[in-house]
Amino acid sequence: MVGLKKGRYVARLAQTDADIQAAQALRHLAFHGTEGLDADEYDVICSHIFVEERKTGALVSCFRMLPLAAGNEISRSYSAQFYELSALADFEGSMVEMGRFCIHPEWTDPDILRVAWAAMTGYVDDNNVEMLFGCSSFKGTDADPYLDSFAVLRDKHLAPKRWVPRIKAPKVFQYAARLRRKPDLKRAQLKMPPLLRTYLMMGGWVSDHAVVDHDMNTMHVFTGLEINAIPPARKRLLRAMSS
């Protein structure tokens, strides 16, 4: 995965304190729209992956990966601050939390997301990861623009009963229990965050509620993806991109 090159872009692991600070600056710009540093205590225990433009070295995307030996370490994750995840403590395989994913707001090339997922695939394969999880965010704390998307999640993508994340955060939107509408599928796809859309295409699932996070100005759903559940054709495509 380190040094992965595809078209205009290269993916690599962050190596230095300056790299981490660059990731924190990009995250602040992407999440808050201003200059600053988005930093927390998880940065020092995560691996950080960069996607850069090859020609200029510009950082166009980044995310971090927190490896867990098995589900009994799930309480160490960032997501565990917001979701009651005791059901996942029974997961026996290795896990990785993918977090703080962002793309520079001035860069809209869809290949950036493809390269990021190729890098993630390489990381998963190199480390024999069996479950990928994290928080997938909708921008803003008003659910109304996303009701069709939430209705699709309710109808098609809720977590298996054995892994269901329970409510922990003080403010949530219980869309699966309370939302009553037939979704407009086109509008749902348009409003679905690209990262979440990719998770779902690979067989991912979500919590039955969204956490309202005013600090990050987002609503997010817990998202899980069991690697063995990825459709074979999709898995072959991802691995071809990461090789």
Per-residue pLDDT tens digits for 159-196: 999 999 999 999 999 999 999 999 999 999 999 999 99
9-13/47-53 β-pairing: antiparallel
pLDDT at position 140: 95
Q: Which pTM value belongs to this model?
A: 0.92
Domains of the chain: 4-242 (3.40.630.30)
Q: Which residues contact 54 (CB under 8 A, 6 or more apart)?
A: 5, 8, 9, 10
What is the distance between the alpha carbons of residues 185 and 187, in angstroms, rounded to a whole number?
Answer: 5
What is the distance between the alpha carbons of residues 106 and 26, in angstroms, rounded to a whole number?
Answer: 11
Contact 201, 234 (CB under 8 A): yes
9-13/4-6 β-pairing: antiparallel
pLDDT above 80: residue 6 = no
pLDDT above 70: residue 242 = no
